[in-house]
Structure 1
Amino acid sequence: MTRITATYDIETPSGLAHAAAVLAGEQSTGTFVRLASETDELRDRSGARVENITQTATAKTPSLPSRKTGDTYERGLVTVSWPMGNFGTSLPTLMSTLAGNLFELAELSAIRLVDVDLPEQFAHDHPGPQFGVEGTRAFMGGHKGPLIGTIIKPSIGFTPDETADLVKTLVTAGIDFIKDDELQANGPDCPFEDRLNAVMRVINDHAERTGKRVLYAVNITDEIDQMWRNLDAMDRVGATCAMVCVNSVGLTGLRAVRSRSKALIHGHRAGWGLFSRSPDIGVDFGVMQKLWRLAGVDHLHVNGLANKFTESDDVVARAARSVQQPISKHGGPAHTAMPVYSSGQTIWQVDPARQLLGNDDFIYCAGGGIMSHPSGVADGVNSLRAAAEAARLDIPLEEFATPNSPLRKAIETFKKPNITLSDF
């Protein structure tokens, strides 16, 4: 029978073998005592199975508070598998199995879900991205190269008309992509439909005059029925990109959007640090990005190199590359998506961001890297576009930049960050 396999980094005062058995039982047929109805046949058919245990460390103190204590805490990687008969290819039930009550087990003083291996059937049974990279470029009229983008800032506080004024400045400057901040959705001070209509008047007018279609990722995050109404409103005005905060709406909400959307789905991972920041509890991005892609995201945020947050460059690099890998190594549709770099990005991160992917199929969002250019927003956009061309040609920025060019002024303005990519 086909099985799903997951790997956990755990720590325990109870011994790795015992803790792994408790984990497997809790997440399948077992409970705190043996039940008469838990027959050998039932357990063989539906029970989780410990496939491998590799000890990696020991400690004298627990990494997390735990009711059960001991003199020594063993740390190791534990691989567990489940029969697909327990949940089929249901993403919500899969999530309850992979990342459910096991995080609360007293036998575990640390637990982090670090990998999942999905059978091919998942890739067949879920829609995945509706448009992906090629669809994104098609919506823009065949755009070449990475998408140079930015975020509406201030994040919150603009009226619809003020938002549209900033968008006018950005589209005039030659931007490819604009997104709402995750904090701006449908508040009374900036209602969704009023903001959408005001911004799309600017974008549609710009497209008619210049032939360039700028993508606007409008934040539709809300209750499911309201998100559907937001999609209808987008369709009426020709908006082609819906931003969804994937942690806020959950897998079911994301799939509901995918089932109704005629637009790209731009996945924002707001709140991700809650799941990822601690090495002792949480879920790796490599696991969740597979589920979000299966549910339908076309674009997915991966943080940025030399970012303003806590993730290292290696973590960001693995995240960006994972979004372009097939969902299942066993076959089926690849369901690849477009990684979105953001967070403190300037001209300096474009080349390494491209190098670690080996292609131009990404969105590169910069706020201050555009808005703070000494010669204005247009030169900020042009400096990033020049940096992308230098990266494509494999020419160092300092050699590619001509005197007094937007790129040269950006080089002189923005400090070169220290980027460390030990894994690539």
Structure 2
Amino acid sequence: MSAETFEATYLVETPLPLETVAEIMAGEQSCGTFARVEGETDALRERARAIVVSVADIGEVAHPSAPSAWLRRRGETRASRRGRVVIRFPVANVGANLSTLAATVSGNLFDLGETTGLRLEDVRVPAAYRRRFPMPRHGVVGTRRLTGVANGAMIGSIIKPNVGLSAAETGELAARLCAAGLDFIKDDEISADPDHAPLAERIPAVMRAVRAHEDRTGKSVMVAFNITDETDAMRRHADLIAREGGTCAMVSLNWCGFSAVETLRRHTDLVLHGHRNGYGAFSRHKALGIGFRAYQTLWRLAGVDHMHVHGLSGKFAQEDDEVIDSARACLTPLAGDDDRVLPAFSSGQWAGTVAPTYAAAGTSDLLFMAGGGIMAHPGGPAEGVASIRAAWAAAENGIDLCEAARTDRVLTQALDFFGAR
């Protein structure tokens, strides 16, 4: 890969020769179509056609992952095989256009009749091309600075109940969560600007609690307000957060889209907390859709600072290996510069998931969020936070959790309550 090209890696499933399908993919996503057309000269193809870098046969599959009317019409009866295909694209075909970059590395490929499965697994860009897109304004280092957490994991929670609280009730809950010792609080993804707690009222109510807590303790708690909406509304909400002294806005990435997030990034210096809700629709089938390494690359080019990765042994479908690989991808620079983004662990997390998270991630450069794991602790939210902090201290010092719990009441309560569920 040179400074003038970028690469994408695919898992491809087809009954046809893998090399043939790889060439079709390269042509379809650059200067070609199903037949060579007038104007598609050798000179044009030389500068604009994508190139197949490699094809690796993985083996036959028992059943095709998806139907293809195109194959059926041709009476194709051979068994499908899977392969890993790497394709190199000219930067000049795309320019600094994130939506078109996404369309180029995926787009119509998912509909190709020659395939019974196709998954975009990775996207790699050269340093010069990466710098044509926004860098994270804050990322890992900036989030540590804003929360005052120089070392260790940042501990967060989510406003629960997800919806239904008034603006005043949300402010009261935020005050309790600040007092409990959190570093980070976020809205749920389904609570943005509801009639019963509009952001115009909720942001000031919550920030009054945050400022009061900071006045008392010197601790600044970061709150990720869910401003998911159309672009103009998101900019207004971001401005209100900044006026109230807030530092973070949360966006449901998949439902706002690249253009809205890029516009928001240009508009505000707030930390952008990227929530990936709906990502399972792209990723859950192992032979279809978009893998997280490719997904996070595209969203990092939009300039987000945080990315959700789910959590170990959580309530969602992802295997633990996938969660950890996602976190490591977020913490790996894309192309040389420190453009790392903070991986946000969540979903069914509590003190008991801390040790495996630390062992697998090998770092505390992460945001560890627990909703029920904090709010449902038998001693209340403050002891829920304390149990997670105690678990992190034990993990970082190589102390077994059960051993640590012998002398820590809040850890014992957490193990007894959550461990039995």
Instruction: Give 1:52's aligned residue.
Output: 54
Conserved in 2, the CA contact under 8 Å of 1:54 and 1:77?
yes
2:177 pairs with 1:170: yes
1:387 matches 2:403:
no
Equivalent of residue 317 in structure 1, options 324, 337, 342: 324
Q: Counterpart of 1:383 in structure 2: which amino acid?
A: S
Q: Distance in 2 between matches of 1:352 and 1:373?
A: 20
Which of residues 97, 110, 127 in structure 1 aligns to 2:134?
127
Instruction: Quote the Cα distance in structure 2 between the aligned partners of 1:378 and 1:402.
Output: 20
Q: Does 1:291 align with 2:298?
A: yes
Distance 1:242 1:234 in 2: 8
What root-mean-square deviation, in Å, do the aligned CA atoms of Structure 1 and Structure 2 show?
1.5
Task: Assess, with a 3 A threshold, how the Cα gap between structure 1 residues 307 and 88 changes in structure 2: closer, same or farther.
Answer: same
Equivalent residues in 2 for 1:113-124, closer than 5 Å: 113-124=120-131
Unaligned runs of 5+ in 1: 418-424
Aligned pairs for 1:20-419 within 5 A:
20-59=22-61, 61-67=63-69, 68-69=71-72, 70-72=76-78, 73-328=80-335, 331=336, 333-403=337-407, 405-415=409-419
* 1:307-355, Cα deviation, whole Å (9 max, x unpaired): 1111000000100111000112xx3x23001111000011111122222
CA distance in 2, matches of 1:346, 1:140: 21
User: What is the distance in 2 between the residues matched to 1:240 and 1:212?
Assistant: 13
SS where residue 16 of structure 2 aligns? coil
Amino acid at match of 1:217: A
Deviations 1:34-57 (A, max 9, x none): 212111111111011111111112
Q: Percent identity?
A: 43
Q: Distance in 1 between matches of 2:278 and 2:171?
A: 27
**TM-superposed deviation, 1:171:** 1.3
The Cα shift of 1:108 comes to 0.9
Deviation of the 1:403 alpha carbon: 3.9
> Following TM superposition, where does structure 1 have runs of at least 4 consecutive aligned residues deviating by more than 6 angstroms?
none
Question: Which sections of structure 2, spanning at least 5 residues, go unmatched?
Answer: none
Structure 2 CA distance for partners of 1:61 and 1:362, relative to 1, 3 Å = closer
- Cα distance, 1:127 vs structure 2: 2.2
Distance 1:131 1:63 in 2: 40
CA distance 1:367–1:31, change in 2 (3 Å)? same
Q: Aligned-pair distance for 1:404?
A: 5.6
Aligned-partner SS, 2:81: strand
Q: Secondary structure at the match of 1:174?
A: coil
Q: Provide Cα deviations, 1:227-267, integer angstroms capped at 9, x if missing partner.
A: 11111101111011111111111122111111121221111
Alpha-carbon shift at residue 143 of structure 1 (Å): 4.5
Deviates more, 1:407-416 or 1:109-118: 407-416
Secondary structure of 1:125's counterpart equals: coil
CA–CA distance in structure 1, aligned partners of residues 150 and 378 of structure 2: 27
Contact in 2 for aligned 1:89/1:121 (Cα 8 Å): no
Tell me how far apart the structure 1 counterparts of residues 241 and 63 of structure 2 sit (CA, whole Å).
54
Mean CA deviation greater in 176-185 or 120-129: 120-129
Tell me how far apart the structure 2 counterparts of residues 316 and 122 of structure 1 sit (CA, whole Å): 28
CA offsets per residue over residues 173-201 of structure 1, 9 Å max, x none?
11221100010111222211111111111
Aligned partners of 1:12, 1:201: CA distance in 2, in Å?
58
Distance 1:297 1:27 in 2: 27
Q: How far apart, in 2, do the equivalents of 1:125 and 1:19 lie? A: 32
Alignment TM-score, normalising by the size of structure 1 = 0.94
Moved more, 70-79 or 223-232: 70-79
Q: Select 1:14's aligned residue among 13, 16, 37.
A: 16
